[in-house]
């Protein structure tokens, strides 16, 4: 490594140039970063000089900032990712309008004919309680096989039409318009740490679509190496913490003695308890409140570096999937 005066994270340096597979054809790579945990402290204190603070002091300040939602110092750290995902995942991802994005252009370049296919465990029935999600119950094996057959039929027809049009020198920007949402796209995504933490909190949550959770888990593992103290505070206050409403706090106050802090009522609670209704909580709010009080397993977002691949692996994979266009002039 060449000499540098910029702050360096040893964990981040170990990640640069490593591409981590996600889903069947996707990946996430950390291609660059600016700043470390120590840079957040320096920004908060508007100070200068490195190595003058103990790690415990930096940790204490970062946790204070996270706990009290003082977020601007966290914006001083930035991470740049190279990501490849199915288009339907990209459409969810781009909802976070807080990053700099440059996406692969289907107007300029030929689209690789790579498509995402859910495995049998992920093709599930529709949830009866959540209109946006799956139920957790996989469909029967024959239904998965039939779904895959129908997907492949649609993709074959779309691919044939696309390859015929570009082969006939028709404009790529129109040839692409009927490619399915399962087609893979790529982008460079640069985001500051504050907005990355918000993105990850939503996308590693169990209510997020499983496919984007897979990307969130890999990126959280990268964050753990780039800024471990910020990662720890994020886990404690965001991922495993909870936001409480006025009525929920009132419910907790009824359970806890103001004198010695002991529980003065059954902490289990039920959705149909009359006390909850008197607090102004609807049944769904009660259910969500009790979920917040349930014991939380601390997730472990640890990257397996042995799974990483060189960038050339994916470059060749995508190059092989690009349609081969005959450049011979037509008579």
Burial 122-145 (b: 16+ CB within 10 A, else e): ebbeeeeeeeeebeeebbeeeebe
Q: What is the dihedral angle through the alpha carbons of 51, 4, 189, 215, rounded to the nearest 10 degrees? A: -60
Catalytic residue, candidates 155, 203, 217, 225: 203
Q: What is the pLDDT of residue 272?
A: 54
Comparison of pLDDT for 264 and 221, the residue scoring more = 221
Each residue's pLDDT tens digit, 86-97 = 999 999 999 999
Phi then psi for 271, rounded to 5 degrees?
A: -60, -30
Confidence of residue 293 (pLDDT cuts 50, 70, 90): confident
Question: With pLDDT > 90 as the criterion, what percentage of the chain qualifies?
Answer: 69
pLDDT at 136 over 80: yes
Confidence of residue 141 (pLDDT cuts 50, 70, 90): very high
Under 8 Å between Cβ of 252 and 264: no
Q: Does the annotation count 246 as an active-site position?
A: no
Q: What is the pLDDT of residue 15?
A: 96
Under 8 Å between Cβ of 199 and 191: yes
Q: What is the pLDDT of residue 261?
A: 46
Maximum pairwise Cα distance, the chain:
93
Each residue's pLDDT tens digit, 196-222 = 999 999 999 999 999 999 999 999 999
pTM of the full structure: 0.88
Q: What is the dihedral angle through the alpha carbons of 299, 304, 309, 314, rounded to the nearest 10 degrees? A: -20
| Span of 45-59, 216-230, 293-307 with lowest mean pLDDT | 45-59
CB proximity list for 44: less than 8 A, separation 6 or greater: 61, 65, 70, 73
């Amino acid at each position: 490594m060449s000499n540098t005066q910029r702050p360096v994270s040893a964990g981040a340096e170990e990640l640069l140039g490593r591409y981590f597979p996600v889903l069947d054809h996707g990946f996430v790579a950390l291609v660059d970063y600016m700043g470390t945990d120590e840079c957040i402290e320096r920004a908060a204190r508007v100070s200068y000089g490195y190595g003058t603070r103990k790690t415990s002091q930096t940790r204490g300040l970062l946790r204070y900032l996270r706990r009290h939602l003082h977020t601007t110092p966290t914006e001083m750290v930035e991470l740049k990712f190279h990501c490849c995902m199915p288009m339907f995942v990209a459409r969810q991802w781009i909802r976070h309008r807080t990053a700099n994005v440059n996406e692969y252009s289907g107007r300029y370049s030929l689209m690789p004919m790579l498509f995402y296919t859910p495995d049998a465990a992920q093709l599930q029935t529709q949830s009866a309680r959540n209109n946006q999600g799956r139920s957790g119950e996989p469909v029967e094996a024959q239904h998965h096989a039939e779904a895959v057959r129908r997907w492949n039929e649609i993709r074959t027809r779309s691919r044939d039409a696309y390859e015929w049009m570009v082969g006939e020198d028709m404009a790529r920007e129109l040839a692409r318009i009927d490619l399915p949402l399962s087609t893979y796209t790529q982008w460079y995504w640069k985001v500051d740490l504050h907005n990355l933490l918000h993105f990850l909190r939503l996308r590693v949550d169990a209510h997020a679509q499983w496919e984007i959770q897979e990307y969130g888990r890999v990126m959280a593992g990268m964050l753990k190496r780039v800024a471990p103290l910020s990662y720890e505070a994020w886990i404690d206050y965001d991922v495993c913490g909870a936001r409480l409403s006025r009525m929920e706090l009132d419910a907790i106050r009824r359970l806890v003695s103001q004198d010695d802090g002991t529980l003065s009522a059954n902490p289990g609670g039920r959705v149909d308890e009359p006390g909850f209704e008197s607090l102004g909580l609807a049944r769904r709010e009660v259910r969500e409140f009790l979920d917040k009080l349930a014991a939380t397993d601390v997730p472990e977002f640890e990257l397996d570096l042995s799974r990483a691949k060189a960038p050339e692996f994916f470059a060749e994979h995508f190059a092989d999937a690009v349609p081969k266009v005959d450049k011979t002039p037509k008579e």
